Amino acid sequence: MRTTTIVIGGGAAGMMAAIAAATRQEKVHLFEKNEKLGKKIYITGKGRCNVTNASDMDTLFQNVMTNRKFLYSAFYGFTNEDVMQLFCSCGCPLKVERGNRVFPESDKSSDIIDALRRKMQQLGVQVHLRREVKQLLLSEDADGNKRCSGVVLKGGQNWYADDVIVATGGLSYPSTGSTGDGYRFAREAGHTVTPLSPGLVPFTAGEEWIGMLQGLSLRNVEVTIREGKRELYRQFGEMLFTHYGVSGPILLSASSIVAKEIQTHPLTLQIDLKPALTQEQLDQRILRDFAAVQNRQLKNALGGLYPAKLIPVILRQSKVDGETMIHDLSREDRKRLLETTKNFRLTLTGLRDYNEAVITQGGVSVKEINPGTMESKKVRHLYFAGEVLDVDALTGGYNLQIAWSTGYAAGNGRITDGI
């Protein structure tokens, strides 16, 4: 007799769980309260979907920030190579970019969703859109052991199943339907939910001039975040200025590392705008640039060094008069310009909210979950997968790998046949 599995949530973890369960010849019903599948996948990677990361397993684990040991079985049970092979076999070719980030060749996240949808259809998964699960059906046997036997839909209809997989996501991007339902289900089942906070989220800054730089993206810079003299974070890469502060890959990752500190007091962000050059090399570069424009004003002679938007702020920060003619520029002025370039500072005052957070930090305590199957240790036949768990990673495709691997583990259950 075929067993029946219910999957709650049609995101990355939910669709992968449904595929894995259906591959086991189970009858699978997937309930998604939105009008379509994969709404969060659709917006990830600026609409391109950073599917996974092609680095070795050690690098994958190094980029997991919370409970990386818990993911050992899941990551090895369904690896990044398995993920890439699955999508390629489903007619969605992939490519590897800088930092080993993996994207669909088309640069369209919709192709990832379509590949998963086709696979589910091929395997006979029954997808129920606009069907919201309100609670789990929980019971106890004579010995006091809890079990989950199905779900109750909005409207009161009961659906029974042999196994139920909760893959509802977290609280990030609530517009995609991530409203924390899974945490409520977990608590009602007797699970511990660790403190929740926005993760991989932009910073707010205290300087009044920050809005002048809105939309400016900087590549190949090095950022350092300090608490007084103590260095909390240092990274090289790409960042973005917003109307309220700073964002971009290296700062989103920073938010997961300095979240506790910034909740209590402001931090200092230092940006090295020319990290490939030493101070001496940068000074020589400035002298060469200035030698060709001796009769220009300083503000009109910096286009080779900085983006146009940044020039007035650099002059302001270095306290050098932009009206000064290059031939009148003092050595002290040039030194201040150089120091500002290598140590451009601003004050980080806080983090944005869940509306802009890529992930949720915190979730169902992994101490209460079997790491090999994602089954609850408290309630038999109840499983959790993806962002609802207390696991998270830095940017670069690592969080989606967590979703694929834990979703596969939950759907694959007690056997290890590959997809």
State the pTM of this model: 0.90
* Beta carbons of 1 and 145 less than 8 angstroms apart: no
Locus of tokens 């350092």? 224
| Positions of E strands within 173-266 | 197-199, 203-205, 217-227, 230-241, 245-247
Would you call 397 helix, strand, or coil by DSSP? coil
Q: Would you give per-residue pLDDT tens digits along the chain (419 residues)?
A: 568 999 999 999 999 999 999 999 889 999 999 999 999 999 998 899 999 999 999 999 999 999 999 999 999 999 999 999 999 999 999 999 999 999 999 999 999 999 999 999 999 999 999 999 999 999 988 888 999 999 999 999 999 999 999 999 999 988 888 889 999 999 999 999 999 999 999 999 999 999 999 999 999 999 999 999 999 999 999 999 999 999 999 999 999 999 889 989 999 999 999 999 999 999 999 999 999 889 999 999 999 999 999 999 999 999 999 999 999 999 999 999 999 999 999 999 999 999 999 999 999 999 999 999 999 999 999 999 999 999 999 999 999 999 999 999 999 975 433 44
* Beta carbons of 358 and 43 less than 8 angstroms apart: no
The predicted pLDDT at position 418 comes to 41
The predicted pLDDT at position 178 comes to 86
Q: Which residues, in sequence order, are CB contacts of 106 under 8 Å at separation 6+?
A: none
* Beta carbons of 294 and 317 less than 8 angstroms apart: no
The predicted pLDDT at position 118 comes to 97
Amino acid, res. 248: G
Bridging pattern class, strands 146-153 and 158-160: antiparallel
The predicted pLDDT at position 417 comes to 39
